A and B are shown apart, each in its own frame.
Chain A
Amino acid sequence: MEIKKTSLYQLHQDSNAKFVEFAGYQMPIQYSEGIVEEHKFTRNHSGIFDVSHMGQLFIYGDNELIEDLEKIFPLDLKNLKLNHSKYSFLMDQDAGIQDDLIITKINEGFLIILNAACKDNDFKILKELLNEKYKMILDENRSLIAIQGPKSSQILNEVIDGVKDLSFMSGNWFLFDNQKVYITRSGYTGEDGFEISISNDFADKLTRELIKKGSKLVGLGARDTLRLEAGLCLYGHDLDKNKTPVEANLKWAISKERISKGDFIGSDIIIKQLNDGVSKIRVGIRPEGRIIAREKTKIYNQSDVHIGEITSGTFGPSVNGPVAMGYVENKFSKKDTKVFLEVRGKKHAANICSLPFYKKSYVKGTN
């Protein structure tokens, strides 16, 4: 299969990107300054991320669509206001996570942002579940550009007036060069920021303007360290079909209203797990020294019993130390529990800790 390129490919090349293949796309892992600098620049200033490989699924329909989507997602979509977004997941009958996603109510229906590696499969599943009743477009003609970091609101607002008034997890249509762009205040870095859905033909122009205003391109490498410090899950690593939202410690994303009725895919398991508890659960883990415990690192308790596994681990440039997430047996999931991580044959002390590792407040709007 031919490797796909995003509409910013030329710009990435002009910016000396190092490329990596990700989910069938040629994506920039870093630029000349490197992951640590790109990470810090995002935290202190403003970074631009090409996330055009992600799926942008538009589903068109009215009240019947809302009812049908509520059979799939554990969300109170009837009360989701126009242009407001929710984090959710596509589960199977066993509540296993097939993808995690952001769903936004738009005028004509919903916009769902899907993971690149899952989007084609998600499309198939959703089409089947919705009995092909609705017009569904997995839009390959639109790019997705994220701008993240404390200066992003000011920078983006200079290019597209009005975005600074969006509140966190809400969006709207704006105009850029007479093109309709859909912008949400959201992101994947733990910083204030925006995601911009824009026609492929204008993505390069918009990005170059943002760079002129002082933002900088940031690659997938820093995206990973930023999201991990922010305690956010990466699908295929921290989340997969063998994990449920309750085990992933994401029950905050399940609507309480919907749990009481329990009529969505996977609800039986979710309700059971909420009532009876789970055997394993996702936690934050901080090694005591500098050792980096990566995915698949085994976790042991103080009696040398295997109690879990790391699902993501790296060095956190803003934390200035190693950070990790993983799943442990529930009884070892309390904050400050001492555990041991086996790295290259040696056991290293670490502590269970609360997430995120790095915290900043999102901008809260008045509406």
Chain B
Amino acid sequence: MSEVKYSKEHEWIKLEGDVATIGITKHATEMLGDIVFAELPEKGSNVEKDGTAGVVESTKAASDVYTPVSGEVVDTNQEIVDDPSKINQDPENSAWFFKLKIKDKSEMDSLMNKDDYDKFAKETTT
């Protein structure tokens, strides 16, 4: 059974076996507003925990997307590149960003569960 965890940079991560699916949270999309551009890491590249692994842009500004864990990029979601508004519509499900073959499962330990994240998100709004 897979558990979804959350980072302070407002990414969610769902681990199945040693493959993690990563996206940005609904709360993040609400803060960003209408997303009009998305850039994803290249398939086959390696990303490091807390490093940048993509960009989303609203009409107002660009924001980096970070990866909460290290790993090799095994898949990316071309659909959100072609139609970035999908990220606003379904951020925590079909509008995932990339999948990683992760290196070190213990990197998941420092991430938040849903309750803690919801609390964190509430505090960081305003």
Contact = CB atoms under 8 A, between A and B. Distances in A.
A17 to B, nearest CB: 13
Q: Which 7 pairs between the two chains have the least Cβ-Cβ distance? A: A315-B36, A36-B34, A35-B59, A34-B34, A292-B57, A315-B59, A292-B37
B51 interface: no
8 contacts: A35-B34, A35-B60, A37-B34, A221-B59, A290-B81, A315-B37, A315-B57, A317-B36
Interface string B39-74: 100000000000000010111111000000000000
A225 interface: yes
Nearest to A39: B59
A130 B118 CA distance: 60
A136 to B, nearest CB: 36
B33 A292 contact: no
Contacts of A344: 39, 55
Contacts of A29: 60
Interface in A5-57: 29-30, 34-37, 39
Contacts, number: 42
Contacts of B36: 36, 292, 315, 317
A35 B62 contact: no
Interface of B: 33-34, 36-37, 39, 55, 57-62, 81, 84-85
A290 B62 CA distance: 13
A264 to B, nearest CB: 38
A126 interface: no
A351 interface: no
A291 interface: yes
A173 B119 CA distance: 54
B53 to A, nearest CB: 13
Contacts of B85: 36
A32 to B, nearest CB: 10
A314 B59 contact: yes
Contacts of A290: 37, 81, 84
Residues of A in contact with B, size category: 20 to 34
Given A292-B62, A294-B62, A35 B57 contact: no
A34 B37 contact: no
Interface of chain A, helix or strand or loop or mixed? mixed
Nearest to B32: A34
Given A34-B34, A224-B59, A314-B60, 14 more contacts: A30-B33, A35-B33, A35-B34, A35-B59, A36-B36, A222-B59, A291-B37, A292-B57, A294-B61, A294-B62, A314-B59, A315-B37, A317-B59, A344-B39
B40 to A, nearest CB: 12
Contacts of A34: 33-34
Interface in A275-301: 290-292, 294
Contacts of B57: 292, 315
A336 to B, nearest CB: 24
Interface string A214-234: 000000011011000000000
Nearest to A225: B59
Contacts of A292: 36-37, 57, 62
Nearest to B34: A36
A36 B83 CA distance: 14
Contacts of A315: 36-37, 57, 59
B92 to A, nearest CB: 19
A29 B32 CA distance: 12
Contacts of A36: 34, 36, 59, 85
A32 B36 CA distance: 17
Contacts of A37: 34
Interface string A289-325: 0111010000000000000000000110100001000
Contacts of B37: 290-292, 315, 322
Nearest to B85: A36
A15 to B, nearest CB: 16
A221 B34 CA distance: 11
A314 B57 CA distance: 9
B65 to A, nearest CB: 12
B55 A35 contact: no
A29 B34 CA distance: 13
Given A34-B33, A34-B34, A315-B36, A221 B55 contact: no
A243 B43 CA distance: 44
Contacts of B33: 30, 34-35, 221
